[in-house]
Amino acid sequence: MIISDAAIEDFQKNGVVVLRGVFRDRVAALAQGVAQVMAHPSPLERSYQPKDGSAPFFQDYCNWQRIAAFRAFIFDSPAASLAARLMGSTTSRFFHDHVLVKAAGNSTVTPWHQDQPYYCVEGSSVSFWTPLDPVAKYMSLECVAGSHRWNASGYRPKRFDGTSLYATDDFEEIPDIDAQREHLTIRAWDMEPGDTVAFDFRTIHGAPANTSAAVRRVFSSRWVGSDARFVRRGASGSPPFPHLTLADGAPFDAPEFPLVFGA
Ligand SMILES: O=C(O)CCC(=O)C(=O)O
């Protein structure tokens, strides 16, 4: 898998880069996997049904152990080696998968947020946001370039309906990105199925509603590097991994997070 040094440098400097066509040959299988998940959601499914009666935003996590297409993506696609190169890591470990399907007309605006404070892991990281349908720029993922370096402690995580994720927390409120749009570099692209937006867990991102007449199916896969450390969040993180017995700050090593590259 060819990825240019310029793309790696761009990712490290700006916390986000688009990679064209890298997962194109995986789209059909992933789409089947998404259909399986939607037909039989996991206990972690968290979908949003907008109050305005528009179509739902389906979300589910951590399905790779039961969905063959997701396992094939994790273990047989270039994702793991790409992740290692982008992170500047000798290894890459799979963290989790996330299915995000905005049905045609779904009015949910994914609010600006960083993923890092939701997760039970810290260290070098990358998410691959991979659409399985064409997504026009006006309704595609938006990422604030450079925001992965804004605040080392992270901004307050909220559910996509605006409620706080943790009962109490010390996080700072996220800045009003929309109010500063003109002064920021916000990256978004017209996406084809199998293109991917690679972004750091700390990069601030959001996504518009699906105002189109077509479904927007996305498969996100999340990866961490050799410096990854466990952060104890109990049942409150998202996704929750309440059964993990790792000590706070311990190397991030457990069977549900397979070391895929550099093993
Ligand atoms: O697809 C979306 O609407 C949001 C995606 C997102 O927040 C993520 O992949 O972390």
Digit-coded pLDDT (tens) for 178-235: 999 999 999 999 999 999 999 999 999 999 999 999 999 999 999 999 999 999 987 7
Residue 143 lies in a domain: yes
- For ligand 1, atom 2, the nearest C-alpha belongs to 207
User: What is the residue range of 254's domain?
Assistant: 5-234+244-261
> For a substitution probing ligand 1, which of 34, 57, 60, 129 has the most ligand atoms within 8 Å of its CB?
129
Cα 14 to ligand 1 centre (Å): 18
Q: DSSP H helical segments within the chain, as ranges?
A: 5-14, 27-39, 68-76, 79-87
Residue 98 lies in a domain: yes
Q: Could you identify the atom of ligand 1 that is nearest to the CA of residue 100?
A: 1
Burial label, 250 (beta-carbon count in 10 A; 0-12, 13-18, 19+): middle
- CA–CA gap between residue 223 and residue 98 (Å, rounded): 12
- The predicted model gives 168-177 an average pLDDT of 91
pLDDT over 70 at 175, yes or no: yes
Q: Closest Cα to residue 157, out of 108, 125, 111? A: 111
Residue 219 lies in a domain: yes
Domains: count for the chain: 1
Q: Is the CB of 177 under 6 A from ligand 1?
A: no
> For a substitution probing ligand 1, which of 62, 99, 100 has the most ligand atoms within 8 Å of its CB?
100
> For a substitution probing ligand 1, which of 126, 139, 141, 196 has the most ligand atoms within 8 Å of its CB?
141
pLDDT over 70 at 27, yes or no: yes
- For ligand 1, atom 6, the nearest C-alpha belongs to 206
- CA–CA gap between residue 231 and residue 249 (Å, rounded): 6
Residue 239 lies in a domain: no
CATH code for the domain in which residue 19 is found: 2.60.120.620
DSSP per residue, 39-107: HS--TT---B--TT-PPPEEEEE--TTT-HHHHHHHHHSTHHHHHHHHHT-S-EEEEEEEEEEE-TT--
pLDDT over 70 at 141, yes or no: yes
Question: Residue 246 — φ and ψ, nearest 5°?
Answer: -60, 145
